Each structure stands twice: as C-alpha cells, then as structure tokens.
Structure 1
C-alpha cells in the first residue's frame, strides 16, 4: 500500500515536471516533511525500514545529487524529490530507483523518436515540452518514476 502512495506521488511529480519543467515545493517538501514526521513518530519509514536506513539513503542522495546540482545537471526539484524519497524508503529502494531511472533514460534516448511517433496528437500536445529536442534539460522525474517501478518489481 505504501508503495502505491509513493507511485502516485511520483506520478504527480513526473507529470508536473514534463509539463512545466519544474516540480512544486508543495509536492517535494510536503512529502519530505510528512515522511520525516512519520519517521520520528513511528521510528521507521513508510515502507517499514529502520530510521537508520532512511538516514543512509538521505546521505546517498546528498552525495549523489549535490555535485550534479552544482554543475547544472540536476534541478533543485529533482534533488528535493530524491531526498523525500530517501526519507520515505531505504537505501535499496533509493539506489534501485536511481539505477532504474538511468536505464529508463537510456532507453528513452534510444527510442524517443519511434515512441513519439506512436503517440496521438492530443498526447503530443500535452507533452510537447518533453518532445522538444532543442532543449538541453530533460525532465528527470518521469525517469525516477520508471526507476521506482523497476526497483519495486525487483525488490518484491
């Protein structure tokens, strides 16, 4: 059940990232705060891992994303999203999500023209910012959603 809530949250973040090329603080910081409060009240994460696991996952997020953020490769929303995910899950989910998102990104880059041709015009209009190849910045939240799905299937 907890994974479904995280999937819905990631889907909202992904949809907003595709449309607006940013993720609202209410989505990232709000869930991060809820996960932190839940962690302090119960002593475990939303998925049932120990608080120590959430701490290690958060440390990994900081180590892995802050250099990318400073170099302009990650947006602030992506960093906050991953930090909230770390507080809600554990190292295994987090690293699985990051690895899975990398796989999804590579698959997208290799097949985006073909996949884009399969979409209806209505969907293309809604996602036109994502199909814009002139932009250097790809929205990353959809790939994090795919990575979390892959990690969830792999872990369970």
Structure 2
C-alpha cells in the first residue's frame, strides 16, 4: 500500500520533470521531510523498513548521485528526488531503482527510433514541441519511475 504512495509521488515528479526539466523543491524536499518525520516517529520507513535501512539507502544515494551532480550529469532535483526516495524506502529499493533505471535507459536508447515511428502523429507533434522548448537536458525522473516499478515487482 505504501509503495503506491511512493509510486504516485514519482509519477508527479516524472510529469514535472518531463514538462519543465526540473523537479520542484516542494515535491522533493516536502516528501523528504515527511519521510524523515515518519522515520523519527515510527522508527520505520514508509514501506516498513527499519530506520537503519533508510539511512543506508541515503548513504548509497549520496555515494551514487553526488559525483554525477558535481560532473554535471545529474541535476540538484535528481539528487533530492533520490534522497527522498531513500528516506521513504530502503537500500534494496534504492539499489533496485538504480539498476532498473539503468535498464530503462538502455532499452530507451536501443528502441527509441522504432518506438518513435509507431507513435500517433499528434503525440509526435506534442512531444517534438515539448523537446524543442526545453533543449538538450534529458529528464531523469521517468527512468527512476520505471526503475522503482521494476524494483517493486522484483522485491515483492
């Protein structure tokens, strides 16, 4: 049940990241604050993992995202998104999400031309207009959403 809340939050972040190529602090820091408050109040993360597992998840996120941020590969919103996800879940979900996001990126890179040719012309036009408005920066949240879905299926 709690995974559904995380999934809905990731869907909101994905929609905003696709449209604006950034994720608001309200979505990332707000969820992080709520997850942290829940951790302190109950001693468990939203999915029921121990607080220590959420702490390890946050350490893993910082280890994996901060170098990318410093090199300009990740945006600050992506780092905050993953940090909030770590506080709300566990290290299993975080690692599974990273692996699933990597698989999603690879699949997208391998199949995007084929998928583009199958799209409805109206959808193509909308996506093309959206891509022209925001430039070259690619959103990361859609891959995180797919990665979380894959991790959830694998773990449960």
TM-score when normalising by structure 1: 0.93
Say if 1:14 and 1:63 are closer, same or farther in 2 by CA, change over 3 A. Answer: same
Cα shift at 1:111: 0.8
**Consecutive unaligned residues in structure 2, runs of 5 or more:** none
Give the aligned partner of residue 152 of structure 1.
Answer: 152
- Distance, in Å, in 1 between the alignment partners of 2:39 and 2:122 is 42
Over aligned residue pairs, what C-alpha RMSD do you find? 1.7
- Aligned counterpart, 2:14: 14
Unaligned stretches of 5+ residues in structure 1? none
Relative to structure 1, the CA distance from residue 51 to residue 126 in structure 2 (aligned partners, 3 Å threshold; closer, same or farther) is farther
Q: Using the alignment, how far apart are the partners of 1:138 and 1:71 within structure 2?
A: 15
Between 134-143 and 10-19, the greater mean CA deviation after superposition: 134-143
2:77 is matched with 77
For 1:88, the equivalent position in structure 2 comes to 88
State the TM-score, normalizing by the size of structure 2.
Answer: 0.93
Distance 1:128 1:3 in 2: 33
Instruction: Name the structure 1 match of 2:3.
Output: 3
